[in-house]
Amino acid sequence: MLCATTSLSTRPRNRRYTPPSVPQLTDLFPHVTITNGFSNFFGASNFLLSGNGSTATLALDKSSGSGLVSKNKYYFGFFSAAIKLPSGLSPGVVVAFYLSNADVYPHNHDEIDIELLGHDQRNDWAFQTNIYANGSVSTGREEKFYLWFDPTAEHHQYTILWNNHHIVFMVDNIPVREFKRNSAYPAIFPSKPMSVYATIWDGSKWATHGGKYPVNYKYAPFVVSFAEVEMSGCVSNTNTTVSGSCSKNSPSNLDPVEGQEFATLSNQQAVAMDWARRKLMFYSYCKDTSRFKVLPPECK
């Protein structure tokens, strides 16, 4: 998994907001048990199931982080998890819920990332989104936000909606970022089937203030809980196209987020996204002129 190198800014902690009302898209899709949906990816000794397989706790300690990978690969879909983050100081800790096909396309991979970045005493957890397409590893498309709640107190929903029209990142169903597909530059849009990953790992080199604050293992283990997982998408197989609409050969390969209600944001969702970006976003690659002498084309 590839990472950003930009540092976090600082702000007073515990600033809380009341978000706008939005449709609860997570109510539309079924939950998948961890046992049915995932296999161990790494760090099996730091992985624990509970709730008849509906909840997984993953830990990071000196010996290892830990992670899960979906049993299926998906082409488009709705992917969500209720996540409760580690409490206490957590510099350098990275909790991720993301899609990737780097295992199949190591030099030409796609990736859609939700990364939750740990904090030192001056900062809350940060919510980072990122997109890579067709091996565009030199042009990460990061945007970073603070959250309007304490993500360590209880579970909150973190969601990726990916279809032929756009990618939407949501927190508790509030859209915080929309990345539209554009026919003028199609190569920057993820276009190949991907696996779903849930991980916790040591991002000391970059995660907190650009690597200034590494993981302090005297606070370990750092434990994250994943529950209420939803993975509704085209299940990729040999008959599934990777460049057009989803296969119509079987119901398992129909795109559950292709309908008009998922093609664009509703007015209510657009208002909520504007709220989130005005109140909570503190970094966007489209405004980073020190990093990009020429901004990526979609920024113009």
- Which residues fall within 8 angstroms of residue 262, CB to CB, at 6 or more apart? 161, 163, 165
Q: Nearest Cα to 42, choosing from 27, 22, 24, 63?
A: 63
Q: Which of the residues 111, 142, 178, 230 is marked catalytic?
A: 111
End-to-end CA distance of the chain: 28
Q: Which of the residues 115, 143, 178, 230 is marked catalytic?
A: 115
79 close to 233: Cβ distance less than 8 angstroms: yes
Q: What are phi and psi of 277, to 5 degrees?
A: -75, -35
Here the tokens at position 33 are 């048990």
Cβ–Cβ contacts within 10 Å for residue 181, how many? 15
Question: Is the sign of the CA dihedral 222, 225, 231, 235 positive or negative?
Answer: positive
165 close to 180: Cβ distance less than 8 angstroms: yes
Cα–Cα distance for residue pair 193/189, rounded to 1 Å: 12
Q: Is 111 considered catalytic here?
A: yes
Q: Is 115 considered catalytic here?
A: yes
Positions marked catalytic = 111, 115
